[in-house]
Amino acid sequence: MRVLIQRVTGASVAVGGKTIGQTGPGLLILVCAMQGDTAADAEKMARKVAALRIFADDAGRMNLSLRDTGGSALVVSQFTLAADTRRGNRPGFSSATAPELGRELYERFAAALAEQGIATQTGEFGADMAVSLVNDGPVTIWIDSAG
């Protein structure tokens, strides 16, 4: 599973011009299920994200997790994180899992994050979404369960 985390002061996702999910201070999390991923991978990644210490403490050091700050999360499916650009100029996405399993693992990740005590909203799997965000820091971190 690939996850791209952005620390944000705010983020939202809209489908057809209507906002369907948003977060205040917290994380925008882009999620891609890869070939071979399982529900256990989704749950492990959710635990990792909830505990990742990327928020400033009173001394200004990245020492606090999303759970510590009481922040929230916006989880958006993004199969393009599977892009393979090693050949030519057109990315390939064959390493992403099939859409049916991708949806299941995306939803499992979001549910597992909520089970960690994180207020979680989501985008719409497979939809053409418009994502808006204000990156805080900026802090952007890539996590891959395979590596």
Which residues are the active-site residues?
80
Determine the angle formed by the axes of helices 39-51 and 99-115, rounding to 10 degrees. Answer: 40
CB-based burial label for 23 (10 Å; 0-12, 13-18, 19+): buried
Structure tokens at 137: 């820091």
Tokens of 139: 């802090």
Distances from the Cα of 135 to the Cα of 70, 96, 102, angstroms: 18, 26, 26
